[in-house]
Amino acid sequence: MQTIEVETPAALRCIETALSRAVKDIPALTPLLEAFGPLLTERARLRQTAPGWTGPALSIDAERFNQGAFVLAQTEFGGGFEDMSELLPEAARTLLPVMARSFPAIAEELTTLGAAIESGALTPQALAGAGFGESVEVPGVSPMTLNFAASELVRPFVERQAEDLAAMVKVLPWNQAHCPVCGGAPNMSVLRRKEDESEFIQAKGGQRFLRCSCCTTEWKHKRVSCPACGCEEPDELLNLRDPARAHERADACSRCKAFVLCLDTAELAELPDLDVAALTMLPLEIQTRQQGYKPLAEHPWSSL
């Protein structure tokens, strides 16, 4: 019998490659990478099959958008993503066991959460609400664990919808520090080199993209600017980094004491998975916090 090999999707290969390289380069982070790696992989699998935006194309007011009214702020039904609650029980059957194995300290709570979902004690609608920050109580499950698990369950569907919504406005200018799709704050930025030589020179080393903490949409932003307060004074904008990993840094502002992690890809042969890249910057994030700076937005592992 002939064996048919199923090709691994590019996104999953990118995660696996980035994890393998990170474990080799930073052995001290192996427990963290091994914990979050399976979650990132399974979340990516769910995103691959998620339905995306199923409604009609939105009518975007270009003038309002240019003034900072993000896509979901212009919808008629209240400014949110489409309801994905009916998809969450099946997602929970996939993700919660993975999370329980990865995070044994909260495994019992995650099992209790799964049982509440299966029995109907926690409705899909309430689970979705918890994923978007609403206050929901489940006996035997701490608010921190519930918030973490629920946000991970909704994330694949949010990210997939955001892909479609971002495509609707890709040709429109956006000069804001919040996400053009959902209005979320960035928790990471990326410097990418330009293909066009004249533009590359003009950008002085690459173009800066901010990445949304909620839906992972990316958008261009001023290279020398604090996304939190808008400060553009070079003397007040700091780049904190470990000399041994020069492509990773924290862009901090001494005026408002905010920071955002930054991955400089100019000298990298391949762009790593950005969630894995953010994980490898955890030591830098901790050092930056210890110096009195606060992130614009948290990463999923920050609460753990």
Average pLDDT, stretch 211-238? 95
User: 57 and 152 in one domain?
Assistant: yes
Token pair listed for 166: 């971002």
The answer to whether residue 282 sits within a structural domain is yes
Pair (64, 149) in one structural domain? yes
Angle (CA) 95 98 102, round 5°: 135
- The whole-number pLDDT of residue 200 equals 41
- Of 168, 194, 225, the position where a domain reaches its end is 168
> Using CA atoms, how far apart are residues 162 and 214, in angstroms rounded to an integer?
10
pLDDT at 5 over 50: no
Q: What is the pLDDT of residues 148-193, one digit of tens each?
A: 999 999 999 999 999 999 999 999 999 999 999 999 999 999 998 7
- Residue 7 banded pLDDT, cuts 50, 70, 90: very low
141-150, 187-196, 274-283: segment of lowest average pLDDT: 187-196
Residue 179 lies in a domain: no
- What is the number of domains present in the chain? 2
**Which residues, listed in sequence order, are joined to residue 240 by a DSSP beta bridge?**
250
Task: From 141, 168, 195, give the residue that closes a domain.
Answer: 168
Mean residue pLDDT across the chain: 90
The span from the CA of 160 to the CA of 149, in Å, is 18
On whether residue 152 sits in a domain, the answer given is yes
Model confidence at 301, pLDDT cuts 50, 70, 90, reads confident
For residue 242, pLDDT beyond 80: yes
Instruction: Name the amino acid, one letter, at 2.
Output: Q
What average pLDDT does this structure show over 188-201?
Answer: 68
Of the candidates 130, 153, 162, which has an alpha carbon nearest to the alpha carbon of residue 143? 130
pLDDT value, residue 12: 86
Which domain covers residue 203, as residue numbers? 186-303
Condensed to tens digits (0 to 9), the pLDDT of residues 62-103 reads 999 999 999 999 876 556 899 999 999 999 999 999 999 999
pLDDT of residue 203 exceeding 50: no
Tell me how far apart the alpha carbons of residues 39 and 237 are, in angstroms, rounded to a whole number.
Answer: 34
